[in-house]
Structures are given as C-alpha cells and as structure tokens.
Amino acid sequence: MADPGDVDQEAMLRLAVDLARSAGALLLEGLHRSRTQVDTKSSRTDMVTEMDRTSEAAIVAGLRRARPDDAVLGEEGGARAGSSGVRWIIDPLDGTTNYLYGFPSFAVSIGAELDGQALLGAVHDPVHGETFTALVGEGARRNGQPLRVGAGVELATALVGTGFAYQAERRAAQAEVLTGVLPQVRDIRRAGAAALDLCWVACGRLDAFYEQGLAPWDRAAGSLVAAEAGAWVRAPGAGDDGLPEDLVVACGPGLEDPLIALLRRAHAEAGGAGA
C-alpha cells in the first residue's frame, strides 16, 4: 500500500487544476460550434459529444505525460491500469445536455485517489470562471480562497439540489421520491451537473444535495470538495440506514439527520422508488 507521504499532493492538485482549466477552455471554444458528433449511451437522453471525447483525451494525455505510472478512469473510456497506487477519476464534461443546449451549468471534474481513498479533487466551471479544489485533510477552496459550507438551516428552509437518471423508468421512480421531499423543504433546484451541485453545497449556494445512481466520475471530486468544506457527505454504500446504497447525500452541518429521515420516508412512501 502506498504511503500518502510519498506523493506530492500539492503538485498533483496543481496538475489537476491546470488540466481542468485547459479542458474547460476547449469546451468554451467549442460551445457555440455546430456539433459534428452526438451519440447516445445508456438511453436516448444520455448523450455524448465530440467535445466530451476531446476534453477527456486532452486530460488523459496530460496525465500520461506527467504521471505515466498512475491509473486512470474516465467517463468516456479513457481507462488504463497503473502501478503507483494513484488513480485519477475524470468527468471531462459533467452536464453534457446543458452543454448541448448552451445552458450555463457544466464543468470539468478531476479527482484522484490513493489505494482507493480520496486524495484530491478539482472541479472547474469554465462559464463562470470558478475552480473548486480540495486536498484531503487540507480543506477546500474556490479560486484559491478557503471555502466553508453555509450556516446550518432547518429542513423547512433548506434549498435542496437533486438530479435524475437517464433511464425513463428510474426517472419516474425518482420523481415519486421528489414528491415526498418537495413539500418539506424551501425549494428544489435541478441544475444538471452533479459535480457543481456538490461544490455549491460547499460554498452555500445549496443547503443540501441528493442524487441516486451517480457514477464515480460524477462525484469523486465534488464529494471531496463538499466534505473538506465542512459538509456532511453520505457516499454510496454508506451502510444500513434504510436508503438505497447508491444514494449520494451532501448537506450543511446539523441537517443530515432530518434530511436522511425525510429521504428514508420519501423512498418508503414511493415503495422503494428509485432503487
């Protein structure tokens, strides 16, 4: 097992930020061009463009040059094994549908783990020029400035973000859960990019976020940013709390117990919907 002290975490974070910002610049350059390729993956609504693949290829190439012994897991197939104990987890364009429509909520997300444990994360929002970063045990930052979650709020006044799966059946089930959540909180936001949603919990733009079925690249960097900013984060497989194993939850201090109770009740009333 690798020793965290054997890796230069700050240099790795600088690399992640540089690559995320460079990929973000590529995305901005291609934002208003006609798409040359739009394919689907898991369903008709799960889209991938040439820009997803171009962004990922640029990131993977940069990682290969700088750290050839590291493993890589990328959303668009840019995977390779490594020998260092480090694995990079890449979402080259989180919010592809938003990107296709010109809706200004998408990001580049790059996380890294050491022997399966989160090490660092960088989420770059090219439209708004914001880069969220975190090093495990060292806190979170936005454009270099320290970041902390917002003050604790009651569930009834919480602004809660969420997201939905691409498959129609799962989306319908998640909508049933939502009908149990919405009346109990201030309001719901669905911006369409989980990495940013998690970072927005970190900076207080959302009081909480939940979503079921996120892939590792959707949550790797954003979850660490939220946690290092002081948020409570429930990762997939968190334990026997009556909720689906693949439900990710992040919220400000003191909100976790009432929020988990609400989500448990909403899932039960929906007949286990979303599982």
Instruction: Find, among 251, 245, 253, the residue nearest to 226 by Cα.
Output: 251
pLDDT for 40 equals: 54
The DSSP symbol for 225 reads: H
Taken as a whole, the chain contains a residue count of 275
The greatest distance separating any two alpha carbons of the chain, rounded to the nearest whole angstrom, comes to 51
- Rounded average pLDDT over 156-171: 93
Mean pLDDT of 127-146: 98
32 membership: H or E segment, kind and range: none
Residue 39 binned pLDDT confidence (cut-offs 50, 70, 90): low
- Read off the pLDDT of each residue in 253-269 and give the average, rounded to a whole number: 95
Instruction: Report the C-alpha gap between 122 and 220 in whole angstroms.
Output: 9
**Domain limits, the chain:** 4-147, 155-269
Closest CA to 212 of 237, 188, 189, 186: 237
Residue 43 has pLDDT above 60, yes or no: no
Whose structure tokens read 């569930």?
A: 155
Does domain 4-147 bear CATH number 3.30.540.10?
Answer: yes
Q: What is the mean pLDDT of residues 141-152?
A: 92
CATH code assigned to 155-269: 3.40.190.80
Question: In this model, does residue 42 exceed pLDDT 70?
Answer: no
pLDDT at 30: 87
Please report which helix (H) or strand (E) contains residue 199, including its range: helix 194-202
Across the range 1-12, mean pLDDT stands at: 78
What is the predicted pLDDT for the residue at 152?
A: 81
- Max avg pLDDT among 35-39, 165-169, 268-272: 165-169
Q: For residues 221 and 121, is the Cβ–Cβ distance under 8 A?
A: yes
**Average pLDDT value for residue range 184-196:** 98
Q: Is 107 helix (H, G, I), strand (E, B) or coil?
A: strand
Identify the helix (H) or strand (E) that includes residue 123.
Answer: strand 117-125
Residue 268 has pLDDT above 60, yes or no: yes
Cα–Cα distance for residue pair 144/96, rounded to 1 Å: 26
pLDDT range class, residue 239, cuts 50, 70, 90: low
Residue type, 28: L
pLDDT band (50, 70, 90) for residue 7: confident
What integer best gives the mean pLDDT of the chain?
A: 91
pLDDT tens, position by position, 75-129: 877 678 999 999 999 999 999 999 989 999 999 999 999 999 999 999 999 999 9
Decide: residue 187, CB within 10 A, 0-12 exposed, 13-18 middle, 19+ buried.
exposed
Mean per-residue pLDDT, 128-143 = 98
Is residue 218 scored above 70 in pLDDT? yes
- Model confidence at 37, in pLDDT bands (50, 70, 90)? low
Q: Can you tell me the distance from the alpha carbon of 175 to that of 171, in angstroms, rounded to the nearest whole number?
A: 6
Query: Which residue from 238, 246, 163, 228 is spatially nearest to 197, judged by alpha carbons?
Result: 163
